[in-house]
Amino acid sequence: MSLNPALAGRSVTVQVPATSANLGPGFDTLGLALALYDQLEVSVRDEPGVFVEVHGVGEGEVPTDESNLVAQAIAHTFADYNIEMPGLTLVAHNVIPHGRGMGSSGAAIVSGIMAAKGLLEGIVQIDAEDLLRLATEMEGHPDNVAPALFGGLTIAWTTPEGPRHKKLMVHRGVSPLVFVPEHAMSTALARSLQPESVPHEDAVFNLSRSALLIAALIQSPELLLAATEDKLHQSYRAAAMPETNRLITLLRENGLAAVVSGAGPSLLVLASDPGQRLVAAELVAAASETPWQALMLAVDFTGATVTRTGA
């Protein structure tokens, strides 16, 4: 493995959206890209090693060397194509909250893989299938990385040949609202609360709701409340995030399609019109015991982008 001279002086800028996975019944399958973006600048430098500068979320907390998750994703991609990674300078501008169920780790992985794709432009061709494979290898499951890569609403599944996805456009009436608490939640802890098996009737329940949710999101937003019912994961995790669970129950009792965002503890409201979001924000402001930030976001339809900025 030797350093490719074509890499000298190259630099790229990457933008990756936040995501919300599961969306209620679509456990480990459905994901939605949201218009809240981490940005990354990567430059090849003459000296070996990786130098990382972090601004915003994670500043002073996340690693600033080769162990940084973004740097690991770049290295993983270079290694996959058997190309030596050059010395790099990374400047990360982060706004996606960490440990809140908004896909921050998936966004970091996708940022690194997209940066590698841009740096390797003209040297190797990395297509959409490869991007999803590389990201899933690092993340472990494709439900967050698929919408981060491709935008919109994604259905992700795995095959013997690797992960696959289908991107769908969301009805213009769907208005996402994410409530973000001050406290974080470990995805590993959330997953550990899942049972190994579930009752047959619960599995059938979620199959029907997942199918209905696709119809609600792309065609019939008035069905979102019924379509976001879940019996596979949220109830098992409720004890680990009691206020999230209490607020979701309150919102749903008031006719609002509220679910846990990803592994939590943030909660996602899939409003059927912008006015519903204001109602939801007022309910949470009046009923919450701790501070929650209300993010009224659009659906991102573009996904991750990379732009060559040098050489």
Tens-digit pLDDT profile for residues 70-112: 999 999 999 999 999 999 999 999 999 999 999 999 999 999 9
Whether residues 30 and 149 fall in one domain: yes
- Looking at residue 193, its pLDDT comes to 61
Domain that holds residue 251: 175-296
Whether residues 78 and 14 fall in one domain: yes
Tell whether residue 98 is among the known ligand binding residues.
yes
- Span 31-40, average pLDDT: 98
Tell whether residue 152 is among the known ligand binding residues.
no
How many structural domains are present in the chain?
Answer: 2
- Residue 44 sits in a domain whose CATH number is 3.30.230.10
CA distance 13 to 26: 32
For the ranges 23-32, 91-100, 109-118, which has the lowest average pLDDT?
23-32
pLDDT per position as a tens digit, 158-204: 999 999 999 999 999 999 999 999 987 666 665 566 667 777 787 88
pLDDT at 281 over 90: yes
274 — pLDDT class (breaks 50, 70, 90): confident
- Looking at residue 191, its pLDDT comes to 58
Whether residues 79 and 133 fall in one domain: yes
Of all residues in the chain, what percent carry a pLDDT higher than 90?
81
Count CA atoms within 13 Å of residue 114 on its CB side: 27
CA distances from 42 to 37, 87, 121 (A): 16, 10, 14
pLDDT at 28 over 90: no
pLDDT at 300 over 90: yes
CA distance 57 to 61: 9
Tell whether residue 100 is among the known ligand binding residues.
yes
- Residue 278 sits in a domain whose CATH number is 3.30.70.890
Whether residues 73 and 162 fall in one domain: yes
Whether residues 197 and 162 fall in one domain: no
Whether residues 183 and 289 fall in one domain: yes
Whether residues 201 and 264 fall in one domain: yes
- Looking at residue 124, its pLDDT comes to 96
Whether residues 28 and 161 fall in one domain: yes
Whether residues 189 and 306 fall in one domain: no
CA distance 62 to 53: 10
Tell whether residue 105 is among the known ligand binding residues.
yes
- Looking at residue 198, its pLDDT comes to 75
Exposed e or buried b per residue across 257-269, where buried means at least 16 C-beta atoms within 10 angstroms of its C-beta:
bbbbbbbbbbbbb
Of all residues in the chain, what percent carry a pLDDT higher than 70?
94
When the pLDDT of each residue in the chain is averaged and rounded to a whole number, the result is 92
Whether residues 162 and 184 fall in one domain: no
pLDDT at 120 over 70: yes
Tell whether residue 107 is among the known ligand binding residues.
yes
pLDDT at 235 over 80: no
- Span 201-224, average pLDDT: 92
pTM given for the model: 0.94
- Looking at residue 188, its pLDDT comes to 61
E strand or H helix that includes residue 110: helix 104-119
Whether residues 130 and 30 fall in one domain: yes
118 — pLDDT class (breaks 50, 70, 90): very high
Whether residues 19 and 98 fall in one domain: yes
